[in-house]
Chain A
Amino acid sequence: MKQDDSVVSDEFLNAFVDDQLEAAEKSHAFEAIGHDDTLKERVCELRGLKEMVKHAYAHPPARVPAVKGRRSRASYLQALAACMLLCIGAASGWFAHVWTGMGSDREMARLLQSVQHNDVGGEPQKIIVHVSSSNPVRLKSALDETESLLDAYRRSNRPLQVEIVANGGGVDLLRADVSPYAKRIGMMQEKYPNLGFMACGQTIKKLREKGVDVQLLPRTGVASSALDQITRRLKQDWVYIKV
């Protein structure tokens, strides 16, 4: 890196700042800089710039996940892992659902029977049955148990009031075009005036927003929401049973 004594080039000063000079050249540079304030200033400027660039990229912004069109291998692996987790979750959810479903049917029967047997005070029994699943087996078991309960109370001449509140998938039970038990519900309503059906207004609203035409069975009430209705009934000392 040859250097003219009289004029010190920018390239030379850059090389000095970047520590790229040979030992002899470096001493020459130190000597020149020591005698010349302008040179000193230029070196300072270059050092300042170098430090500024280092500082500017000391903490680059955090890496972001790859976006459309630039998928990396890692993101594919992440997607694969996510899919596997989803499958495991879905499978375990399904089995858990089946087990708890069976359990809750049994539980419901047990609760209904206990209601039947513990009617000691002679007060009218009020039961709210919450249906949130569209599983036809569970719907059927809910209707069966409710019917046998209503029947037993009627036979023994005891007062009973039952309200079935449906939300989520359970609303299907009360939809005229979807319900697998439309006729049966109609017959039950005829037979038991002390049996009421309520659908969740929020679920219906959501279905309608999705473009689903929701037509409810006749004599089915609509609550502002299932939660509201259940809370109201609990405050009125109704017994709550979840299917």
Chain B
Amino acid sequence: MKILSLFSRAHGFNDQLEQSRERLYRVAYAWSHDAALADDLVQETLSKALKSHGQLREPEMLNSWLFSILTNCWRDHFRLQRETEDIEEVEDFRCVHETTPEDEHAQTQIVGRVRGAVARLALGQRQVLTLVDLEEFSYAEVAAILEIPVGTVMSRLCRARRALKEMLQELAPVQSAQVSHIRRVK
């Protein structure tokens, strides 16, 4: 019976992990704006979560625990990137963060404009903003996930939203001042 309950618990844990996949991916994408990288980060997060299953003492903390792992994976990714200095990776990063897809899109669609603006935020601000807005974590939870004080969470969030507001105004399509009216000419 004990073995059976162990199996069912493990099965339940796997299901929970699978259910978290979409949410982890959404946040990983909001941090990286790179679908392939986001997918890899999520895979790595889930794989680490499976391996260190035993470390999760309180099951209700699963969600923030998973996002802590994602944060670590993200950090590792940058550390590796600095060490290897792969020119292709640097190019990818530059493209993703500064040029075409987001910016071009930004001119036409609100989704693109917001993603473009979020991509231009400082990394720390981007992380806080997305964890609060997309995942609705409390400030205390975000502080624990990112291992920073609550005060820093609040100030980063405040700066992020201020910057976002300015950027969205900047990126808004310019309305033509000259509005041509239809006139009837006899």
Q: Which chain A residues in 131-165 approach chain B with CB under 8 Å? A: none
Q: Which among B86, B110, B154, B168 is the interface contact of A55 at CB below 8 angstroms?
A: B110
Indicate if A22 sits at the interface (CB-CB under 8 A). no
Indicate if A91 sits at the interface (CB-CB under 8 A). no
Indicate if B88 sits at the interface (CB-CB under 8 A). yes
Nearest-neighbour CB distance to chain A for B47, whole angstroms, equals 6
Q: Which among A18, A52, A65, A74 is the interface contact of B114 at CB below 8 angstroms?
A: A52
Contact flag A69-B86 (CB < 8 Å), given A49-B165, A54-B133: yes
Contact flag A57-B36 (CB < 8 Å), given A52-B110, A73-B47: no
What sequence of 0s and 1s flags, for each residue 4-17 of chain A, a beta carbon within 8 Å of any chain B beta carbon? Answer: 00000011001100
Interfacial chain B residues near A53, Cβ < 8 Å = 114, 118, 129-130, 133-134, 164
By Cβ-Cβ distance, the 10 closest A-B pairs, closest first, are A56-B114, A63-B39, A60-B29, A72-B43, A53-B133, A10-B158, A11-B154, A61-B35, A64-B35, A56-B111
Point out residues on A near B: beta carbons under 8 Å.
Answer: 10-11, 14-15, 18, 20, 45-46, 49-50, 52-57, 60-70, 72-74
Q: Which chain B residues in 154-186 approach chain A with CB under 8 Å? A: 154-155, 157-158, 161-162, 164-165, 168
Question: Number of residue pairs across A and B with beta carbons under 8 Å?
Answer: 86
Indicate if B25 sits at the interface (CB-CB under 8 A). yes
Number of interface residues of B (CB under 8 A): 37
What CA separation (Å) do A46 and B69 show in the bound complex? Answer: 29
Nearest-neighbour CB distance to chain A for B15, whole angstroms, equals 18
Nearest-neighbour CB distance to chain B for A71, whole angstroms, equals 8
Q: Which among A18, A54, A56, A64 is the interface contact of B36 at CB below 8 angstroms?
A: A64
Interfacial chain B residues near A15, Cβ < 8 Å = 139, 154
Contact flag A14-B29 (CB < 8 Å), given A55-B111, A67-B36, A69-B89: no
Q: Are A70 and B35 in contact (CB under 8 A)?
A: no
Indicate if B115 sits at the interface (CB-CB under 8 A). yes
Beyond the given pairs A10-B161, A63-B35, A70-B37, 17 more chain A to chain B contacts, judged by CB atoms under 8 angstroms and listed by A's residue number, are: A14-B154, A14-B161, A15-B139, A18-B139, A20-B138, A49-B164, A53-B114, A53-B134, A54-B134, A55-B114, A57-B30, A57-B134, A60-B25, A60-B35, A61-B29, A67-B36, A72-B40
What CA separation (Å) do A64 and B39 show in the bound complex? Answer: 7
Nearest neighbor of A61 in chain B, beta-carbon distance: B35
Indicate if B103 sits at the interface (CB-CB under 8 A). no
Indicate if B146 sits at the interface (CB-CB under 8 A). no
Nearest neighbor of B155 in chain A, beta-carbon distance: A11
23 A-B pairs with CB atoms under 8 Å apart are A14-B157, A20-B139, A46-B161, A49-B165, A52-B168, A53-B133, A53-B164, A55-B110, A56-B111, A57-B26, A60-B29, A61-B29, A62-B35, A64-B36, A66-B36, A66-B40, A67-B36, A69-B88, A70-B36, A72-B43, A72-B44, A73-B43, A74-B43
